[in-house]
Copies of this chain bind each other. A is one copy, B any other.
Amino acid sequence: MKLYDLPGPPSPRRVRVFLAEKGVEIDIVAVNIREGAQFKPEFAAINSRLTIPALELDNGTVISETDAIQRYLEEKFPENPLFGNSPEERAVVNNWLRIIEADGFMAVAEALRNGAPRFENRALTGVRNVAQIPALGERGVNRIGYFFEDLDKQLEGRKYIAGDTFTVADINALVTVDFAGMAKQSVPDTCANIARWYADVSSRPSAQA
Chain A contact residues, CB within 8 Å of chain B: 55, 57, 59, 61, 63-65, 67-68, 71-72, 75-76, 87-88, 90-92, 94-95, 97-99, 102, 106, 128, 130-131, 133, 135-136, 139, 146
Contact = CB atoms under 8 A, between A and B. Distances in A.
* SS of A interface (majority): helix
Interface core residue of A90, A91, A94, A102 (most chain B CB under 10 Å): A91
A59 B92 CA distance: 12
Given A67-B98, A90-B75, A139 B128 contact: no
A88 B61 contact: yes
A98 B99 CA distance: 13
A71 B92 contact: no
Nearest to A134: B135
A13 to B, nearest CB: 17
Contact of A133 (B67, B99, B102, B133): B133
Nearest to A153: B48
B61 A99 contact: no
Contacts of A59: 88
A61 B4 CA distance: 37
Given A59-B88, A146-B128, A94 B76 contact: no
28 contacts: A55-B91, A57-B88, A59-B88, A61-B88, A61-B92, A63-B92, A63-B94, A63-B95, A64-B95, A65-B98, A65-B99, A67-B94, A67-B97, A68-B91, A68-B94, A68-B97, A68-B98, A71-B90, A72-B91, A72-B94, A75-B87, A75-B90, A128-B146, A130-B139, A133-B133, A135-B135, A135-B136, A136-B136
Given A88-B59, A133-B135, A95 B76 contact: no
A60 B67 CA distance: 27
